[in-house]
Amino acid sequence: MANTSVSTLLVILFWGLTLATGRKLSPLSTTTTLSSSPSDGICLSMVMPQGKTCEEHLVTTQDGYILNLARIRIRESRGPPVLLQHGLFMDGITWLLLPSNQSLAFLLVDNGFDVWVANTRGTKFSRQHTSLPSNSSDYWNWSWDELVAHDLPATFKYVHDLTGQKMHYVGHSQGTLIALAALSQDQLLNMLRSAALLSPIAYVGQLTSPLAKNAAENFIAESLYNLGIFEFNMRGDSVIKFLKDLCNNTGIDCTNLLTSFTGQNCCLNPSIVNVFLDHEPQSTATKNMIHLSQMIREGTTSMFDYENRDENMKHYGQPTPPVYDMTRLPNDLPIFLSYGGADALSDVKDVQRLLEILKDHDADKLVVQYRNDYAHADYVMGENAHRDVYEPLISFFRLQ
């Protein structure tokens, strides 16, 4: 009980950083964000020290966001490309938090794959735009709809055009949601070999995360938006330092830090929390948090609801937002799906709803893995994930 109470307190503090560090953003101005130096990217900080070849690429979306994309490979590797897409509050470093012999990015490289690590708009390495400064409200005027419509297609096309090959895709959490939504609209299929969905999010109406549920039911994101806080930023230097000191000096098991949000993770080494806090959490748009809150409250997977008939008509040509129809997922697409019994965000009941839709999927094209003890963070930070999840995933890719 004591651990749970401490965990709840810390995570609420963590979540509450938004109010502590949130600032009203300026209206659209004429200044633009300076290009970040390549030395600021994932390659120099996380990959090259491990002796791997790494390149930083910039991808511009149709709506002007400039995304950082890291390419990791063994020199002269001719293996098929794999695109790694992180989840909410994370960036591409998600796939590099674990030691090099355990992280999915490096394991794929060592197995001959050409690995591409995506960074969603608004995260540390993807805060440029062709005309909007990142401190403007217009820069943060997006939800995961725009990740489906712009970020994912631009990234897919860039990798496909440069390599001349179809790619494998790995998504975690929100990274699965945007892929499922795009595939339900017949996007990306001509560039895709297979998709691996870790902690899949197609529905969140049954999630049990007390923190996420409470925030949605109490319209926290909407309140912040109405206060003029358009960047949902949970990272504050003073609080990150406080959490690190707390974890290092008090004997508290800080793997419980995430429990009230993700569920009880089985397999996190306590040292991973310090690594996590060195790089995460990352910002997202407050509008994105509103969109996810709508999904939690309504149990549906629809486009952003402006909750105003005229606004919805203006954006969609109908009074209610269109639904992403998961029944339209192609039955012949090779899918590897892994979910956990302790996951409070990708809840078993919500995953079962997706699996019911996939019941007519070609039997030889669908691999479903259930890990009873896994929660949400285990899939990207668990010290056993390389053995439990990544090795079967890589074997699946080889079959495709």
Please list the active-site residues: 173, 343, 376
Q: What's the token pair of residue 196?
A: 């691996």
Strand 128-129 with 65-73, pairing:
antiparallel
SS3 301: coil
Q: Where do we find the tokens 């407050």?
A: 286
**DSSP element (H, E) containing 337:** strand 335-340
The total number of residues written for the chain in this structure: 400
Q: Where do we find the tokens 């979910």?
A: 339
SS3 305: coil
Strand 231-232 with 284-285, pairing:
antiparallel
Between CA 298 and CA 305 the distance in angstroms is 11
**DSSP element (H, E) containing 245:** helix 237-249
Q: What is the number of H-type helices and E-type strands within the chain?
A: 18, 11
Strand 128-129 with 231-232, pairing:
unpaired
Q: Where do we find the tokens 């943060």?
A: 140
Q: Other C-beta atoms within 10 Å of 121: how many?
A: 26
Q: What's the token pair of residue 269?
A: 């080494």
Dihedral, CA atoms, 103, 107, 109, 111, nearest 10 degrees? -170
Q: Where do we find the tokens 């999010």?
A: 201
Between CA 204 and CA 249 the distance in angstroms is 36
Give how far Cα 133 sits from Cα of 29, 206, 284, Å. 7, 37, 15
Amino acid making up residue 46: M
Of residues 197, 177, 187, the one with CA closest to residue 156: 187
Between CA 183 and CA 354 the distance in angstroms is 14
